[in-house]
């Protein structure tokens, strides 16, 4: 909170107290009904704040970035958060990936590994990877089918992250099969 936020907070608290006081005085004969309506409006207000705060996550989950496929070329528009996302079908299950040219491998989160039919608890985590959050253990796996843009690859090498990972990563071991063109607005993948 900077030096200008505290006076604004005091102003809003005082304004809220005046408005609340007015409604209490005007409706002192019906305080129970007024409290009920105030609680309903308060919940609506909190719900709107929660939706606004989580809108990017909701939108990304409900409406993943649309990929335009023309022949052997895929065009991926940048998402609102500045990343490029691709929906990949792994072993028949849809998995959302963030394109990560800094990642060496295709990296699955534990949740996405389960979605793809793997059991993370039965894997051998012999590998390690350095992440922004430090060192994590990894388990090497082979994915039977990996479909992106209508093209299916078989027996694709990947790792399952033994740590916390929000979104699976599409790294260079797979992206290296493509000619990449990257601009701030668009990622073009051509085989």
DSSP string, 105-164: S-EE-HHHHHHTT--GGGS---EEEEETTEEEEEEEEEEEEEEETTEEEEEEEEEEESS-
DSSP string, 5-42: HHHHHHHHHHHHHHHHHHHHHHTGGGHHHHHHHHHHHH
Predicted confidence (pLDDT) at residue 68 exceeds the cutoff of 60? yes
Cα Rg of the chain, angstroms: 24
Q: Which residue has the tokens 């929906």?
A: 87
What whole-number distance in Å separates Cα of residue 65 and Cα of residue 56? 12
What whole-number distance in Å separates Cα of residue 149 and Cα of residue 70? 9
The mean pLDDT of 142-160, rounded to a whole number, is: 95
Q: Which residue has the tokens 């070329």?
A: 73
The mean pLDDT of 160-182, rounded to a whole number, is: 93
Which residues face 137 on adjacent strands? 128
What whole-number distance in Å separates Cα of residue 79 and Cα of residue 140? 29
Q: How confident is the model at residue 64 (pLDDT cuts 50, 70, 90)?
A: low
pLDDT digits (tens, 9 = 90+) for 81-137: 889 999 999 999 999 999 999 999 999 999 999 999 999 999 999 999 888 778 999
Predicted confidence (pLDDT) at residue 6 exceeds the cutoff of 60? yes
Which residues face 190 on adjacent strands? 73, 179
The mean pLDDT of 164-186, rounded to a whole number, is: 93
Mean pLDDT, the chain, whole residue set: 88
């Amino acid at each position: 909170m900077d030096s200008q936020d505290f006076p604004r907070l005091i102003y809003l608290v005082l304004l809220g107290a005046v408005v609340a006081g007015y409604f209490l005085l005007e409706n002192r004969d019906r305080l129970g009904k007024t409290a009920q309506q105030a609680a309903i409006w308060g919940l609506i207000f909190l719900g709107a704040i929660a939706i606004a705060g989580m809108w990017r996550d909701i939108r990304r989950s409900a409406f993943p970035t649309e990929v335009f496929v023309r022949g052997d070329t895929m065009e991926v528009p940048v998402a609102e958060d500045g990343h490029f996302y691709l929906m990949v079908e792994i072993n028949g299950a849809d998995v959302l990936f963030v394109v990560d040219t800094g990642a060496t491998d295709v990296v699955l989160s534990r949740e996405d590994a389960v979605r793809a039919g793997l059991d993370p608890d039965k894997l051998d985590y012999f590998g390690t990877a350095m992440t922004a959050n430090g060192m994590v253990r990894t388990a090497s796996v082979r994915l039977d089918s990996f479909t992106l843009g209508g093209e299916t690859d078989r027996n694709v090498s990947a790792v399952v992250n033994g740590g916390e990972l929000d979104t699976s990563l599409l790294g260079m071991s797979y992206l290296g099969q493509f000619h990449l063109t990257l601009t701030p607005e668009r990622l073009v993948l051509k085989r």
